[in-house]
Amino acid sequence: MAKDRSNSQWGGRFSGGPAVIMMEINASIDVDKRLATQDIAGSKAHATMLETVGILSADEAAVIASGLDQVLAEINTDTMIWSPALEDIHMHVEARLFELIGEPAKRLHTARSRNDQVATDFKLWVRAACDELDVSLRAFQRALLARAEDHAETIMPGFTHLQIAQPVTLGHHLLAYIEMIERDRGRFADARARLNQCPLGAAALAGTGFPIDRHMTAKALGFNGPTHNSIDSVSDRDFALEFLGAAAITAVHLSRLSEEIIIWASQPYGFITLPDAFSTGSSIMPQKRNPDAAELVRAKSGKMLGLFQSLAVVMKGLPLAYSKDMQEDKSPVFEAFDTLSLCLAAMTGMVDTLVFNADAMRRVAAMGYSTATDLADWLVRVAGVPFREAHHITGQAVKIAEHKNCDLAALDLADLQGCDARITKAIFDVLSIDASVASRLSYGCTAPDQVRARIATLRGALGSTSNA
Ligand code: ARG
pLDDT in tens, 49-107: 999 999 999 999 999 999 999 999 999 999 999 999 999 999 999 999 999 999 999 99
The response to whether residue 116 sits with its C-beta less than 6 Å from ligand 1 reads no
| CA 113 / ligand 1 centre spacing (Å) | 9
Distance CA 176, CA 349 (A): 18
* Per-residue model confidence as pLDDT tens digits over 127-143: 999 999 999 999 999 99
- From the CA of 122, give the closest atom in ligand 1: 4
Task: Give pLDDT, residue 467.
Answer: 53
Q: Which of 161, 228, 283, 403 is catalytic?
A: 161
Cβ–ligand 1 distance for 454 under 6 Å, the answer no
Q: Is the distance from the beta carbon of residue 118 to the nearest atom of ligand 1 less than 6 Å?
A: yes
Catalytic residue among 57, 83, 282, 323: 282
Quote the pLDDT of residue 328. 98
At residue 5 the predicted structure's pLDDT band, cuts being 50, 70 and 90, is: low
CB atoms within 10 A of CB 147: 21
Q: How far is CA 282 from the centre of its chain?
A: 31
Per the annotation, the verdict on 228 as an active-site residue is no
234: Cβ below 6 Å to ligand 1? Answer: no
Q: What's the CA-to-centroid distance between 235 and ligand 1, angstroms?
A: 11
Q: How far is the CA of 58 from the centre of ligand 1 (A)?
A: 29
Query: Which tens digits make up the pLDDT trace of 226-241?
Result: 999 999 999 999 999 9
Confidence grade of residue 466 (pLDDT, cut at 50, 70, 90): low
Residue 114: CB within 6 Å of ligand 1? yes
Q: According to the model, what pLDDT value does residue 455 have?
A: 97
The predicted pLDDT at position 464 comes to 63
Give the whole-angstrom CA distance, residue 327 versus residue 26: 9
Cα 285 from Cα 277, distance rounded (Å): 19
* Nearest C-alpha neighbor of 187 from the set 259, 242, 255: 242
46 flagged as catalytic: no
Answer yes or no: is the C-beta of 94 below 6 A from any ligand 1 atom: no
322 C-beta closer than 6 A to ligand 1? yes
| Integer Cα distance of 18 and 174 in angstroms | 57
The CA 25 to ligand 1 mean position distance, Å, reads 13
